[in-house]
């Protein structure tokens, strides 16, 4: 994780980016059981690192302040047991994408405008970690991990910047399969099963889903909410 003292070329930085990305993708796909086991919520703040040799590591953040390179998302292990496993992996993937970009542009601080543009173009030609992780799912349109463009009608953005689509407005293609995919989703208030004919909203803190009527949120009101906190999370104090 050393930063060269001399300016790095676009190609060198992109190679570093690709290798770190490959390591993280491996952690969240091929080595997912090992990665899951290492993220024990009872441990201290843990981070997922991708290294230039295409390996990955779950460890504590660097001790020096400021760190030699931008740090990954802190404390990914705390949310492991409080979320659906697939949703948690998707959340880690989103944070990993942000970290990879920050490292690349940190290393490319000396690049000129055209070089930065070329670097981003190379990076943008690769699928994001989030896209790779969610494409492994049989249904790509589960609201919590929707990577598509803004859906028609009511949507809201979660804290990771992704668009959550109103399940009621999902495309008709694969409709029956989507019903099966959501059959495991229960309302956090009444415990009722998912129903495509009803409006649902997801909490950006605990990632639980609720009938709009149970939490008194209409599709129109959801449009104006940047970050939705369910009644339970609104009452809790933040983690120290």
Whichever domain contains 152, its CATH number is 3.30.40.10
Statement to judge: residues 172 and 131 lie in one domain: no
Is the model's pTM score more than 0.85?
A: no
* Average pLDDT of the residues in 63-81: 92
> What is the reported pLDDT for 117?
94
Pairwise CA distance, residues 180 & 187, whole Å = 16
**pLDDT(156) > 70:** no
Task: Give the pLDDT mean for 220-240.
Answer: 74
- Mark whether 191 and 81 lie in a shared domain: no
User: Does residue 59 sit in the same domain as residue 147?
Assistant: no
Tell me the sheet residues that pair with 193.
186
Shared domain for 221 and 117, answered yes or no, is: no
Which of 11-25, 156-170, 211-225 has maximum average pLDDT? 11-25
- Mean pLDDT over 125-147 rounds to 66
Closest C-alpha to 166, from 239, 91, 240, 217: 217
3-state SS class at 167: helix
Q: How far apart are CA 57 and CA 105, in angstroms?
A: 21
Task: Determine, yes or no, domain membership for 4.
Answer: no
Which domain covers residue 36, as residue numbers? Answer: 10-135
The answer to whether residue 3 is domain-embedded is no
- pLDDT given at position 236: 67
**Whether residue 159 is found in the same domain as residue 103:** no
pLDDT in tens, 82-107: 999 999 999 999 999 999 999 999 99
Asked if 126 and 167 sit in the same domain, the reply is: no
Task: Answer whether residue 211 shows pLDDT above 50.
Answer: yes
């Amino acid at each position: 994780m050393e930063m060269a003292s001399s300016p790095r070329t676009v190609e060198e930085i992109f190679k570093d980016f690709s290798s770190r990305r490959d390591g993280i993708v491996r952690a969240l796909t091929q080595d997912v059981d090992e990665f899951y086991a290492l993220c024990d919520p009872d441990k201290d703040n843990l981070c997922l690192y991708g290294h230039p040799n295409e390996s990955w590591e779950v460890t504590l953040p660097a001790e020096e302040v400021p760190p030699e390179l931008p740090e990954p998302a802190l404390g990914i292990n705390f949310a492991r047991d409080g979320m659906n496993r697939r949703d948690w992996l998707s959340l880690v993937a989103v944070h990993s994408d942000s970290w990879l970009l920050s490292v690349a542009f940190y290393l490319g601080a000396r690049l000129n405008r055209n070089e930065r543009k070329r670097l981003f173009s190379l990076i943008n030609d690769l699928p994001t970690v989030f896209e790779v992780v969610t494409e492994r799912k049989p249904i790509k349109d589960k609201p919590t991990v929707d990577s598509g463009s803004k859906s028609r009608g009511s949507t809201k953005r979660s804290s990771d910047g992704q668009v959550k689509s109103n399940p009621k407005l999902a495309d008709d293609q694969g409709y029956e399969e989507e019903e099966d995919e959501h059959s495991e989703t229960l309302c956090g208030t009444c415990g009722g099963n998912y129903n495509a004919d009803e409006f649902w909203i997801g909490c950006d803190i605990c990632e639980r889903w609720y009938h709009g009527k149970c939490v008194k949120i209409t599709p129109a009101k959801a449009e104006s909410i940047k970050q939705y906190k369910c009644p339970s999370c609104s009452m809790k104090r933040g983690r120290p």
